[in-house]
Chain A
Amino acid sequence: MVVRSYNEELQYLEKVNSYCWKIKKGFQPNMRVEGIFYVNDYLEKLMLEELRNSCRPGAVGGFLPGVKQIANVAALPGIVGHSVGLPDIHSGYGFAIGNMAAFDVNDPQSVVSPGGVGFDINCGVRLLRTNLFKKDVLPIKEQLAQGLFDHIPVGVGSKGIIPMTARDLEEALEMGMDWSLREGYIWAEDKEHCEEYGRMLNADPTKVSLRAKKRGLPQLGTLGAGNHYAEIQVVEEIYDKWAASKMGIEEKNQICIMIHSGSRGFGHQVATDALVEMEKAMKRDKIETNDRQLACARIKSEEGQNYLKAMAAAANFAWVNRSSMTFLCRQAFAKQFRMTPDDLDMHVIYDVSHNIAKIEEHMVGNKQKTLLVHRKGSTRAFPPHHPLIPVDYQLTGQPVLIGGTMGTCSYVLTGTEQGMKETFGSTCHGAGRVLSRAKSRRNLDYTEVLKNLEDTGISIRVASPKLVMEEAPESYKNVTDVVNTCHAAGISKKTFKLVPIAVIKG
């Protein structure tokens, strides 16, 4: 690889407008398309500083900087449009987290890469609304937080309270949320308000290793650790009154519940298994990439298909997982308020996936093409009138749920036509790290982090307080910066903002 100085590197970057930068071909070898990324002034500084640090002589180890990763993805076979970096982008395994890339399914060279999906397959966010208001909840928020904590097991190695047999798991992997529906854990309307209607139809549990199933079985209905959380949130600000009312949010101070979780150990094992298989396939098919971590296989190859089928099963696992937690949340609230979840109007507003690869139809140039869209740390954001979004959101555009960091704030956006054109209907997914986990542990003190949360009036329940500084707001970019950038760039539109009053996490 060519070693260039920071100033030489900058020659390949061009600022298109105040929120968008272009990465020109040549920044990394063999780039087939250009890269773009979205930043505001503050995020731009972070982005370029990361690049500058990596250009320092003697800088070794760790992940490549985000810009480099975007460019390496742009060099993958079959990529179309741009390799897109969203404002919350930060370095990850192979693909940066916050990177979207689409591959032409009908190009025999095109690839699928597990690195472009991430290890936590179908990690996503679900938002439930209630007809409660802040004044109803504040007096009993401690009890509510404890109630949630008692119902939803959290942390590394946690086990769920919904009894599952191996056969149940097989069925759940194949049926996704249809399994939860059949067993009566969720409502019919939940399925309606979920990406893909909560079920990837190409899921094939026989393509999943026994090891993955063994890891997944006891974990259904658990939140997990890391950045996952369940929060009781309050609507703090409404930007688009009409779109918000379409989602059942009428006024400020209305209470919502946000669940951020994924496919737990199951998805992780599926991804690990696929990476091993794909390394062999790369050698056989002579696929060359700029980075060893970008292991991939041709979409139409056996390995590619196996991965897509197993990934779909993991996606179904995640939906069943979030559905089980929806059930448990409703139970916890019903118990506390002595009212049925129906009477509390605890409907799912929407459920988004931000680590997934899906086959979608998009316009490339002036032609309609079938693409395999990888979204890693990136949320689908389809515009109004798109046939794949629920009928209730046909006029507003798809709701996009952006979970902030523990204790900060979260946003709900909607998809736009411009986003459909520029980013294949994708937008950001959250705050995005600035400090690595290790760095956060070194620099921050957990007692102080917990105290800060308490001072802001947030009830918190954690399984492992000593890991809490990894997820402290200081370790992340400011989610408001990220969301405002997406809004200003026009790739999605702000609808309302939520702040937490109670958090439970791993």
Chain B
Amino acid sequence: MFKRKLQALQYVASDSFNINDEKQVRSLILWLENQKIRYYKIQDRENLRKHDSPEWTSHYIKYLQDVECPFINGKLVEQLEWLLGYAVKLEYSDNVEKYKSITSQNIQKDKVVPKVVSSSTLDSLNFESDDFKNGVKSLAQILNITPHPNHFITLQAISKVICERLNPEALENPSFIIPEGKPFPFLETDAGFVSNDQVLTKAGKILKLLFIQDLRSLQTQINECIVSVQKVTANPKTDTKLGKVGF
């Protein structure tokens, strides 16, 4: 218990410390005060030194009060945890310069990390090179996709088209995946808002259609979800004997 803090404070018995052993606890507390906290003057530490004295506990409580430990009424674990933390804090503030450079980043650096040699050619590509940009552009042209000034966005669009329209399933049975429909004269419909700016209206209408498409796929997912639950719960029954025609 408390191994790391004890190690940090260079406590000799850091490995074998047992909180349930009263003797060990008392000697740790004396050690902390003697070596690290040093709140009392040397001569005032006498009371803590008397391990076997029946008054030790009351002196310990007094000590906690003096160092302003917030866990006076708490459990021993909490008190020890706090005392150790307090000791670490004092140790650190005494030697800020020495410890400052030991950050997690620097420690990571020193560790030996096995290097993975990438076998994928993608990782060695330069995504900002003109060669790459031109490649994206010509791919977009082949697929009939309007290029975006940011070639990454164009690439995203290309990926979407390939995943949705050019996957093996879609190629095998195009009518199954690609929705058939009549062209919809969306520019002639009511946009649902009023604007004198034609470009803005057109953009708004396109966004609206995209939004509706999103909603539709959400609703389809909800329906699929309901249907899968129905497989478990559904058991429709009729009993014609119950039926009665009125007058």
Q: Contact residues of A with B, CB < 8 Å?
A: 153-163, 181-185, 188-189, 191-192, 218, 222, 225, 242, 245, 327-328, 331, 384-385, 390-392, 394-395, 417, 463-464, 506
* A327 vs B235: C-alpha distance when bound (angstroms): 13
* A154 vs B219: C-alpha distance when bound (angstroms): 35
Residue ID in chain B nearest A331 by CB atoms: B238
B189 lies within 8 A of chain A by Cβ: yes
Contact: A158 with B244, CB < 8 Å? yes
Contact: B219 with A394, CB < 8 Å? no
Contact: B227 with A188, CB < 8 Å? yes
Chain A residues near B242 (CB, 8 Å)?
A: 159-163, 218
Contact: B243 with A395, CB < 8 Å? no
In chain B, positions 214-247 with a C-beta closer than 8 Å to chain A are 215-216, 219, 222-224, 226-227, 229-230, 233-240, 242-247
Q: A222-B246, A390-B219 are in contact. List 4 more A-B contacts (CB 8 A).
A: A155-B245, A161-B239, A182-B233, A395-B184
B52 lies within 8 A of chain A by Cβ: no
Chain B residues near A162 (CB, 8 Å)?
A: 236-239, 242
B208 lies within 8 A of chain A by Cβ: yes
Please report whether the interface of chain A is mostly helix, strand, loop or mixed according to DSSP: loop
In chain B, positions 29-71 with a C-beta closer than 8 Å to chain A are none
Chain B residues near A391 (CB, 8 Å)?
A: 212, 215-216, 219
Instruction: Output the least CB separation between A223 and chain B (Å).
Output: 9
Knowing A188-B223, A188-B230 are in contact, say whether A157-B216 is a contact too (CB < 8 A). Answer: no
Contact: B244 with A384, CB < 8 Å? no
Chain B residues near A161 (CB, 8 Å)?
A: 238-240, 242-243
Interface residues on chain B, size class: 20 to 34
Q: Pick from B212, B216, B243, B247: contact of A160, CB below 8 A.
A: B243
B190 lies within 8 A of chain A by Cβ: yes
Residue ID in chain B nearest A246 by CB atoms: B184
Contact: A155 with B219, CB < 8 Å? no
Instruction: Output the least CB separation between A132 and chain B (Å).
Output: 22
Contact: B212 with A182, CB < 8 Å? no
Residue ID in chain A nearest B231 by CB atoms: A184
Instruction: Output the least CB separation between A290 and chain B (Å).
Output: 37
B149 lies within 8 A of chain A by Cβ: no
Instruction: Output the least CB separation between A369 and chain B (Å).
Output: 20
* A331 vs B234: C-alpha distance when bound (angstroms): 16
Instruction: Output the least CB separation between B203 and chain A (Å).
Output: 16
Contact: A184 with B246, CB < 8 Å? no
B192 lies within 8 A of chain A by Cβ: yes
A-B pairs, 6 with minimum CB distance: A184-B234, A155-B246, A385-B192, A158-B246, A159-B244, A188-B223
Q: Which of B186, B235, B242 is packed against the most chain A CB atoms within 10 Å?
A: B242
Q: Pick from A242, A328, A463: contact of B246, CB below 8 A.
A: A463
